[in-house]
Amino acid sequence: MSPLSNPFNLVLQEVTVGTPILANFEKSEVPAVYKINQGSGQQIVVELDLQENQSRTRIYAGYSLCPTTIDFDLRSIQSNSSDSRLVIPAPVTGRTVYNLTLS
């Protein structure tokens, strides 16, 4: 039996645009995933700022589907920095964006 044979519901923390999130990355390479409802004409800027300068961070975004490090719609340019930034362009119509952050 394949693990995909048993569907399940994944509950994600929903983020309100303009509200900062304080989160701790307990272990390296353990992702944090957030759901964002992006309104029509609304650009979103996601910034990840770690306290430690020795970690590398990455931000991925997926439109309507949760992104992975291989399958995504957008990703941050910075990959070997403790700070990353991702600009999600404004859509013509509203959409759900899923944000994957890694440290």
- 15 lies in some domain: no
- 87 lies in some domain: yes
Does residue 56 have a pLDDT over 60? yes
- 13 lies in some domain: no
- 2 lies in some domain: no
Quick one: residue 82, left, alpha or beta (phi over 0 = left, psi -120 to 50 = alpha)? alpha
- 16 lies in some domain: no
Give pTM, 2 decimals: 0.77
- 57 lies in some domain: yes
Structural domain tally of the chain? Answer: 1
Does residue 58 have a pLDDT over 70? yes
Sign of the CA dihedral running 85, 100, 18, 53: negative
Over residues 44-52, mean pLDDT: 80
For residue 78, the enclosing domain spans 31-102
**pLDDT tens column, 9-39:** 666 667 777 776 666 666 566 778 889 899 9
- 17 lies in some domain: no
- 54 lies in some domain: yes
